[in-house]
Amino acid sequence: MNRRLTLALPSKGRLREPSWSLLEATGVAPQEPGERVLQTFCRNADIDLLFVRADDVPEYVQDGIVDCGITGLDLVSERDFDVDVLLRLGYGTCSLQAAVSTEDAAQSFTDLDGRRIATSHPRIAAQWLAEQGLTAEIVRVTGSVEISPRLGLADAIIDLVSTGSTLRTNGLRSLGTLFESEAVLVGRRGSGDHEAQRTLTMLLASVINARATRYLLCNIAKERLNEVTALLPTTGSPTVMDLATPGIVAVHALVPAAQIWSLLPQLQACGASSILTLPVERMMP
Ligand code: AMP
């Protein structure tokens, strides 16, 4: 089906800026909205944009007010919305963790049995407690979950953690993780025939793949080529080209960005020279 797509983006908070820059990186050219403007469009694609709170995105998608949207996986799971997760976006990563005061004797999840737990994710918490065979009273709070133990509102908390610094600042200690979250693209159930949505999903995936990849170039003496190719953590075949200087070849390969750090010294030790790494804009396997 070829019709305009409406995409909901987070209007504020942690997910706003990275969602906007990911969309810009796809090349659809989102038109910068004016101040307090909640709707805009893309100059290079048949996509309209609507800015809503990340919390509201799953409901807007489920109810058909928009075709798809970007939100946190935790927000989709917490209220069990009837939407399809089309793509994990690799930012907004955090985990839902159970934590107690550093002075509390609890050492593991089982020590939470029979206690009071404050959380703004009561559904995920209740499901997890049931899976663990634990009984606990859930105290639903909407913000500042981490001060609940100090206020005497609860013995423990279940809250989103990214670096752990908020837990530490509030004198809390994690007992472990019960749910991993990140930003996701969600679409209406069964909306797979929407052509613009399929194209957008593919473009977003190509940028996410590219961000995790570097284009590596280096020169190596022909007789050491096998040593270099054996080192390359690439799934596809590297490109090997003769240079003007006899006996030397250039090797080009796509490698995971996370492995550049350990790979470069090994390449150098192998005799590789003129080693370059370049960012990749888009990558479609
Ligand atoms: P916000 O609009 O800033 O409240 O965004 C909330 C969403 O950001 C959450 O639902 C999570 O998906 C994500 N997130 C990432 N890291 C954290 C964190 N440390 N605390 C809360 N939310 C986080």
Distance between Cα 265 and ligand 1 center (Å): 37
Q: What percent of the chain has pLDDT over 70?
A: 99
Partners of 215 in beta bridges: 254, 278
pLDDT confidence tier of residue 262, bands split at 50, 70 and 90: very high
Q: Is the pLDDT of residue 2 over 80?
A: no
SS3 label, residue 95: strand
Separation between Cα atoms, residue 124 and residue 163, nearest integer Å: 21
pLDDT confidence tier of residue 190, bands split at 50, 70 and 90: confident
- Among 57-61, 128-132, 139-143, 235-239, the least confident range: 235-239
Separation between Cα atoms, residue 62 and residue 79, nearest integer Å: 11
- Find the angle CA(97)-CA(9)-CA(2) to the nearest 5 degrees: 125
Ligand 1 pocket residues where CB is under 6 Å: 13-15, 54, 72, 74-75, 92, 94, 160-162, 181
Distance between Cα 92 and ligand 1 center (Å): 7
- Find the angle CA(277)-CA(163)-CA(10) to the nearest 5 degrees: 80
Distance between Cα 223 and ligand 1 center (Å): 52
Q: Is the pLDDT of residue 147 over 60?
A: yes
Q: Is the pLDDT of residue 33 over 80?
A: yes
Q: Is the pLDDT of residue 1 over 60?
A: no
Separation between Cα atoms, residue 44 and residue 25, nearest integer Å: 12
52-88: pLDDT as tens digits: 999 999 999 999 999 999 999 999 999 889 999 999 9
